[in-house]
Chains A and B, each alone.
Chain A
Amino acid sequence: MNFHDRLLGTIPFIAAIFVIAGIVHIVSVLAMPAVAPQDALTRLAVVAPQGEGVVLLPPASPGREIMPYEDPSVALGFCRFDLSQGLYRVRTNIDGEHFIALSFHTRSGRVFYATTDRSALRGKIDVAIVNTGQLEALESNDPEDQPAPELRLLAPAPTGFILVRALAERPNELPRAEARVTAVTCAPERPPQS
């Protein structure tokens, strides 16, 4: 076997390595949200393993952050939803002056809806997170000639969380920002029986 033949013989070997490497790379990137041990909801659950309603996170300070790149000027809270318990309702009144933002996430952190007080209607944010069946149940109970009283969000996954952010413009305003976070009500709701 001369040098030329040997070189030709290694080509399938090298090609196999690249094909396998490509497949492994794609599969590992796609599988990461399913296998990562520290996804967003897991980190949040450390603060409150159980419970309904909004959970206030401790203020960001060195060594006590729940998530990387947390904003220390923002009061944070979260609610977790599980649509197997019924649809999930999120409500808050807004004062039109202070920044409050709600973002709706799947458990890996992907955003599926977000809003701030700027886009609220009639001085309040009123959202129902639903799956297809719950949406149909709601719509079948709607009065014919009236718009739906709340925003209905079709969730891409049965579980996830809502993150509430309220901005404290100055450090001494943080307690008031936290009060605006805890004023948000989140709760599962049985669909009306028909």
Chain B
Amino acid sequence: MLAFLKGGLAALIGIALGLAVTFVTLERGFGFGAVQAGPWTAWPRVGASDIDPYARAVLSRTGEIPLAAAQGIAFYARNDESGAPLSGSCDYVISGAVPASRFWTLTLTDPNGRLLENAAHRYAFTSAEVLRRGDNSFAIAVASGARPGNWLPSETGRRFVLVLKLYDAIASASPSGLVGATTPRITRGRCW
């Protein structure tokens, strides 16, 4: 009787533990195959046909439709260069170069991938519309209050995610081409 009870208890704890591990791993993102470039992370294999079971489980849970590897690649940044989480209570500047691609877009979303409402109706910049300096470099200000020049609005007190999508990216065909890619810097300014 005692052995039977013990077995049942082990099964219950085991099932709970197994489901908890699944939940935690799926919440953390796409799992294996991440490529890190500065503050940005990409998962090139998520858009390929040899996607791993963890990434497939994440996709089927969130409903996200990844950019296919033959079309481009998406980089996600949840932290700034210093490693601190991106917050609507701070100002940031995104500057520098983007890996070679036909077009790119930079979008600001909440941690679940939803756009943030703002009075300027500005949710993203594309490579065609961003204002550039004489030497072709650019700087985009991310702040909750209006800024001159390229301004991407955030929301005071809310965490956010920056998504850099490269379309027809030269490096996206082979993940190794992404390692150490030159990605834009995310520099934190003033916080309050």
Contact = CB atoms under 8 A, between A and B. Distances in A.
Contacts, number: 195
The B contact surface, by secondary structure, is: mixed
A132 interface: no
Contact of B15 (A20, A60, A73, A169): A20
Interface string A123-134: 000000000000
B71 interface: yes
Contacts of A74: 105
A13 interface: yes
B103 A169 contact: yes
Interface residues of B, number: 60
B63 A32 contact: no
Interface string B1-25: 0000011011101110111011001
11 contacts: A21-B21, A24-B22, A67-B65, A69-B113, A71-B107, A71-B124, A72-B124, A114-B70, A165-B71, A169-B127, A170-B126
Interface of A: 13, 16-25, 27-30, 32-33, 36, 38-40, 42-43, 60-63, 65-74, 99, 101, 103, 105, 108-116, 118-119, 163, 165, 167-171
Interface of B: 6-7, 9-11, 13-15, 17-19, 21-22, 25-26, 47-49, 51, 53-54, 56-57, 59-72, 74, 76, 102-103, 105, 107, 109, 112-117, 123-124, 126-129, 163, 165, 167-168
